[in-house]
Structure 1
Amino acid sequence: MLTAAIVFGLAPAALILVLGIVARGVATQHVTPRVVQYAPERTSTVLRDALLVEADRRAASAALIDLAVKRKVRLLAGSDRRDPIGVEVEPAVVFTSEELSLLDALFGADHTSTRVRRFSSDRRALTGRLKTLLLGTEDALARDGLIGERRVSWPGGALRVLAYLGMLVEALLIMFALLNNAWPALIITLIALAGTIATIFVTPPWWRKYLPPAQAKREHLAGLRRYLALAEADRLRALQSPGGAELRADAPGAAVPAGQGNGGPATTGSSLPGSAAGSADALHPSEGPPPTEPLARFHLHERLLPYAVLFGLEREWITKLRLEAAAIGTDDADFAAVTVSVADALDAAGGALELTASVGDLVDGSGEVIEGIGGLFEAFGL
């Protein structure tokens, strides 16, 4: 009995567990950043980057927060945690097709603003719409040659089938061991059963195959995650990239190599994250004098909020932004309004993963509810 437990129970269980661990390692496709990055790539979008870092569950929430950070929508948390979160469209904004697709998924024709959305069939409908949105984004990445056209699913499927067959064999071995009072065989079979169950949890059901052109983008995102994970200014300076981190002249919150923000050499201190030297005037090109360096750094960090959500660092990053806002000490607190509204929305929703399931109505600046995708196109003149 002991020999049967080892040959038909423990050995197969150990083999498929090892194969499951190997499959997990292959699916991870880990990348190591060469330098710390301080902004996403210029042509990237939050949804596309979410799939490149395997953050599918956080993609929609991060993209919604990105709209808030870009001042295209406002997140309005209710006075009660049970109230749905309102989304208000800012006046005179222009949405991209991807952003409209996100709003359509969140506020489609079958959307309801009732608080029971979180537990009703409407949430299942929301999940289906968001899944369709991500599949469309995945297809776009495949067309660009960044990922394989099909997900890799056969290893996970095969190992799970073997695991279920193994559990059936182990159940029979346990029954025979109990009938024959073969306690050593029973213990070994139970160990084998635990290994088989572990295989089911360890083995990924599928994964994306990232192609060589995606390597640089994934390294960039890994460098951005490293930056977001840092907290103290001294550590940020210590890990400063050779290219510097001035604000890019054509997009608030982005970065260019030092010395390119103003057409000349970098000034002393311009290599600090979020430095305002030479290029901070790009933040508000038509609003008078350039902001101070701390304010420019705040805007740079605020633009990274969606990526903090992707990497699961939103709580730490919002805390950092609040500290920076307090350090600026300006009488005009309007610049910190986005951080406050996002923080309140996340608190009301119970976290980033619940944010999209907690949204209520989509309204315009007058508070009038925009109904479905037809209302979206009508409101935006499309």
Structure 2
Amino acid sequence: MAATRLARTLVTIGLTAAALLVPTTPAAAAAAGPAPAAGASTAIRADVDDFSYASWDARYEVGLDDDGRSHMHVTESLTARFPEVDQNKGIVRGLPTSYENAWLDVRVLSVTDETGADVPYETEQEDGLLLVLTGDDDYVRGLTTYVIEYEMRDVILAADSGVDEFYWDLLPLDSTQPVEDFRAEIVFDETMTERMTGNARCYTGYQGSTNECDLVASPDGSQFAVEAKELSPGEGITIAVGFDPGTAVQPSARQPDPVTDTVPAIAALGGLGLSVGSWIAVSAFKKKRRTSSGIIVAQYDVPDSLPPLLATGIVPGAKDPIPAEIIHLAVRGLLRIEDGTDVEQPRLRRLPGGRIPDELDAQALDALFVGADAAGVAEVPSSSEDFAARMKTLSQSGIEAAVSRGLTTKARGRGAMILQWCAIGVVLAGFALGLWGIIGGRVTAIPAFVAIAFGVFLVLLSSFYGFSKHTVLTAEGARLYEYLMGVREFIRVAEADRLRMLQSYTGAERRQDGSANVIVVYERLLPYAMLFGMENEWGAILEQVYAYEQRGASWIGDPSAPFVRGQLVAFAATSHASATYAAPSASSSSSAGGSFGGGFSGGGGGGGFSGGR
């Protein structure tokens, strides 16, 4: 109801603001036309909650049914004092639908006026209240009486103090209407009267007030009456009458039941844990498929059939293959990387006569030199949707080649599927238990049911991953993966170890004096160092080797100038940005034992809401 009242308040503020814009000068008043006659309907209505109750009389008849459970018949006679303008069409009486974890099974029997004539009404459920909206489309003015008759059950509570109690709020504390004259009678049947403890209290005031009020009992003790005058909006009247323990049979919803109140939440956590385990099993499955011999041997040459584009489809988490592929083509003598007119926009020059190692390298050359000039020079644009699209297609071709060459395949992880099925079974069982609690009327089962419902959603969502086929390596793919890990190991070890390996290698390219051509080997490994994210470290090694040989790199920049690894880092960043460019798109209750004292206004069941419509 708080949201409803807030909306009404905002409407009132808006109407008030509109009223301030009405012209007040004589000329403006004349232009606006004559004022409405007295008693006529005004264009701007005040807040529908702006009225009072001349009287609020209520009679509560409380007893036990054949099952020993408490029931209550209530007759409320509410006389509203509406303003003499077209503001209200009736009242709204909100009745609570639950009390201390149990549903009250509220049933509205009738709404009449003081003569017994039927008053039109309708009911709505909102925020734990059954709203009784009286009246129709006709406005009402002045004193108007509404007699609302309704029934509830399970209004007697087994209190923490060890006794049963009728602990009830007789007035709604969530109300903006003052009450000029209040009177209530509470009548208990013979069985309940016999089991009274003799303790009874009455509390008055705002929510939480411990001020006591007079509670008048009949000679036989079966009836209690309380009266009050000039109650401000929000002031309540609460009574607490004690009975012997076990007087009223409590609904099962008030008895602790971990099966419906706790187990579903535990099942939600268990199901989510199994789903997480399924994801971990998928990761372990992928990792297992990357193992061939399990032995990593340092390697310092890469076969022509394993260009960077293809290697990216084999090595999980490899960096952007486009910069690595361009460097690969450059060190193989198929192109040169030159400075462009703009420092941040290098250009590529295609060199004739070189041997193209692999079909993917041929596709890369074709994609890079689209639109090249007559001299075979193509710019690497800083931002181009067309260039980015070509590079994306080129990267995808490497992944597709890994499939077509039998290096990767799609497969499901058996362990992941078993765990995911277990997760589904656990949450569905928990959901069934939670639903059983809800159907049984257990308010305490609602939090656990919400948790299990959320758990079911997440587990089913997780199933799309757990049951899916995932890209994994074949036996041949695993062998090449271990080979590439050997290349990474060679890049990682100390320089002295690398040189010893080169001297023992009989197949490496050699100089005329028979020593291994270190520069050629190191240059050809540079693209793979970039895939592993080690280009900065490997560029530093190349820088030292070029300096020792007193020469520059023949494949980037000015061959006569010393190689600086900053050239490599800057080019990698520029080509990565170009390849990935994309254009921008456009009321609380308590069972503390109020009949013994220590209670407070608003501490019981009942109360509800009152407002206008």
* TM-score clears 0.5: yes
CA contact (8 A) 2:388 2:579 kept: no
Q: What is the deviation of 1:41?
A: 3.3
Aligned to 2:471: 208
Report the Cα distance in structure 2 between the residues aligned to 1:94 and 1:42, rounded to whole angstroms: 11
1:11 aligns with 2:264: no
Report the Cα distance in structure 1 between the residues aligned to 2:379 and 2:401, rounded to whole angstroms: 25
Aligned to 1:221: 484
Q: What is the deviation of 1:10?
A: 0.7
Matches within 5 A, 1:286-305: 289-290=512-513, 296-305=517-526
Aligned to 1:115: 382
Aligned pair partner of 2:502 in 238, 245, 260: 245
Report the Cα distance in structure 2 between the residues aligned to 1:184 and 1:85, rounded to whole angstroms: 62
Give deviations 1:227-270, integer Å, cap 9, x for gaps. Answer: 1122x224547xx6xxx534xxxxxxxxxx64x45xxxxxxxxx
1:315 aligns with 2:536: yes
| Structure 2 residue identity aligned to 1:137 | A
Report the Cα distance in structure 2 between the residues aligned to 1:78 and 1:129, rounded to whole angstroms: 23
Distance 1:85 1:333, change over 3 A: closer
CA contact (8 A) 1:74 1:341 kept: no
Aligned pair partner of 1:27 in 245, 262, 286: 286
CA contact (8 A) 1:75 1:341 kept: no
Aligned pair partner of 2:308 in 40, 46, 49: 46
Aligned to 1:137: 401
Q: What SS does the corresponding residue of 2:472 show, helix, strand or coil?
A: coil
Report the Cα distance in structure 1 between the residues aligned to 2:447 and 2:497, rounded to whole angstroms: 55
Report the Cα distance in structure 2 between the residues aligned to 1:74 and 1:56, rounded to whole angstroms: 24
Q: 5+ residue gaps in structure 1?
A: 247-256, 262-273, 282-288, 359-382
Give deviations 1:158-211, integer Å, cap 9, x for gaps. Answer: 97xx99xx9xx99xx9xx9xxx8999969988x979x97996999797643323
Matches within 5 A, 1:135-214: 135-142=399-406, 146-148=407-409, 151-152=410-411, 207-214=470-477
| Structure 2 residue identity aligned to 1:115 | S
Report the Cα distance in structure 2 between the residues aligned to 1:65 and 1:201, rounded to whole angstroms: 39
CA contact (8 A) 2:319 2:533 kept: no
| Structure 2 residue identity aligned to 1:134 | G
Report the Cα distance in structure 2 between the residues aligned to 1:311 and 1:301, rounded to whole angstroms: 15
Report the Cα distance in structure 2 between the residues aligned to 1:78 and 1:187, rounded to whole angstroms: 62
Aligned to 1:2: 262
Report the Cα distance in structure 2 between the residues aligned to 1:105 and 1:46, rounded to whole angstroms: 15
CA contact (8 A) 2:381 2:387 kept: no
Distance 1:334 1:245, change over 3 A: closer
Normalized against structure 1, the TM-score is what? Answer: 0.59
Q: What is the deviation of 1:71?
A: 1.7
Aligned pair partner of 2:364 in 99, 102, 107: 102
Distance 1:3 1:354, change over 3 A: same
Q: 5+ residue gaps in structure 2?
A: 1-260, 372-377, 582-613
Q: What is the deviation of 1:128?
A: 3.5
Identify which of structures 1 and 2 has the higher relative contact order when contacts are C-alpha pairs closer than 8 Å and 6+ apart: 1
Pair member with larger Rg: 2
Aligned to 2:18: none
Report the Cα distance in structure 1 between the residues aligned to 2:266 and 2:491, rounded to whole angstroms: 48
Q: CA RMSD in A?
A: 4.8
Report the Cα distance in structure 2 between the residues aligned to 1:197 and 1:323, rounded to whole angstroms: 56
Report the Cα distance in structure 1 between the residues aligned to 2:388 and 2:463, rounded to whole angstroms: 27
Distance 1:25 1:334, change over 3 A: closer
Aligned to 1:306: 527
Aligned pair partner of 1:89 in 341, 350, 363: 350
Aligned pair partner of 1:127 in 370, 382, 392: 392
Distance 1:206 1:89, change over 3 A: farther
Q: What is the deviation of 1:291?
A: 8.6
CA contact (8 A) 1:58 1:352 kept: no
Q: What is the deviation of 1:47?
A: 2.8
Q: What SS does the corresponding residue of 1:317 show, helix, strand or coil?
A: helix
Q: What is the deviation of 1:12?
A: 1.1
Distance 1:135 1:33, change over 3 A: same
Q: What is the deviation of 1:21?
A: 0.5
Distance 1:64 1:348, change over 3 A: closer
Give deviations 1:10-62, integer Å, cap 9, x for gaps. Answer: 11110110010010111133434442112113643333333222366533332
| Structure 2 residue identity aligned to 1:226 | E
Aligned to 2:567: 344
CA contact (8 A) 1:106 1:130 kept: no
Distance 1:318 1:122, change over 3 A: closer
| Structure 2 residue identity aligned to 1:229 | R
Report the Cα distance in structure 2 between the residues aligned to 1:88 and 1:223, rounded to whole angstroms: 32
